Structure 1
């Protein structure tokens, strides 16, 4: 079974994440997409992150009706800060019969060569890249790499930062979230401050 790993803080998970995950599960050779909730991205500030269990719960709520999309808390069990290569090695040991691939936005390719052991990742794993509107330049070494698979997918210009800011400003963002995720955020007064 081929598993696409879609990493993110999912703070919060929104319809754009689900559209991309579902598109890849339905329109590529990926059998399942695992939404890997990142406890702490070494490149992001942790101050505005909800607790891990809240973000995991929201991913469960958003994916419960999608057989091919699963939440994963695998990184919660790894020492922090964690790096993608460590997660991949851990998953290979835990699920030796699965084949793993990465899912990332095109804009992430710009800094991919700064990732820990990125050459090892590129040598051993397919990377499915979905389009994003970006003016960033992609390093030449990634342009025609056989492991990098560009996916014809809807361009979703929606971010968790945009959603958090709109909640803080008291705007209605319900169409951007799964209804149960919206209820959970609203009930707990998340992102209001």
Structure 2
């Protein structure tokens, strides 16, 4: 039987404990065998100039996940055309790893705007989507409420964001509890997000 892989996309700028809580909960409380943390070079919905270099963000994901056997970093999008569209990445990764069964992981906030994604119908034709709860504005489209390919996982609601972490560092606040020890050390030594 094919290994069931959940793809958790993000800019991870930086990766924080909220990302790890969600990824670990998803892999331990669903039929997913592994979670791949896909570091996105350029999210079409985000300004690129606020992002750290791809390889610094990838390194932080390596540092954050090294003690988790079922959570792996992925740079699969680094060599794909930008901006990155999920449908293109899913097609590429499925072709590259035919022995794996890939699934998309997203927060409920993304499900609310999923109808705006490029070729979202094609994603639902070929892939399952695992959704974790988020506190957010907007409503879920009726077409997604009972869709057979959309699976809700009752994960903890985590109200930590990378933006909050970056802003707190800029304001010289202690955010050590929000990052894994190794990521905090890396961010601090590299003087990231201080300006």
Band of TM-score, shorter chain: over 0.9
1:52 aligns with 2:54: yes
Partner in structure 1 of residue 88 of structure 2:
86
Q: How many residues align?
A: 193
Aligned equivalents of 1:187 and 1:40: distance in 2? 25
Structure 2 residue runs of 5 or longer lacking an equivalent are: none
CA RMSD of aligned residues (A): 0.6
> Offset of 1:80 from its aligned partner?
1.1
SS at 2:156 equivalent? coil
1:146 aligns with 2:128: no
Structure 1 residue runs of 5 or longer lacking an equivalent are: none
TM-score by length of 2: 0.98
Dislocated runs of 4+, deviation >4 Å: none
SS at 1:76 equivalent? coil
Measured against aligned partners, the alpha-carbon deviations of 1:143-169 in whole angstroms (never above 9, x if no partner) come to 111111010111101100000000000
Partner in structure 1 of residue 70 of structure 2:
68
Partner in structure 2 of residue 177 of structure 1:
179
TM-score by length of 1: 0.99
Deviation larger for 136-145 or 25-34: 136-145
| 1:37 alignment partner, one of 25, 36, 39 | 39
Aligned equivalents of 2:45 and 2:140: distance in 1? 19
Aligned equivalents of 1:98 and 1:181: distance in 2? 29
Aligned equivalents of 1:180 and 1:136: distance in 2? 36
Partner in structure 1 of residue 19 of structure 2:
17
Aligned equivalents of 2:95 and 2:104: distance in 1? 17
1:104 aligns with 2:111: no
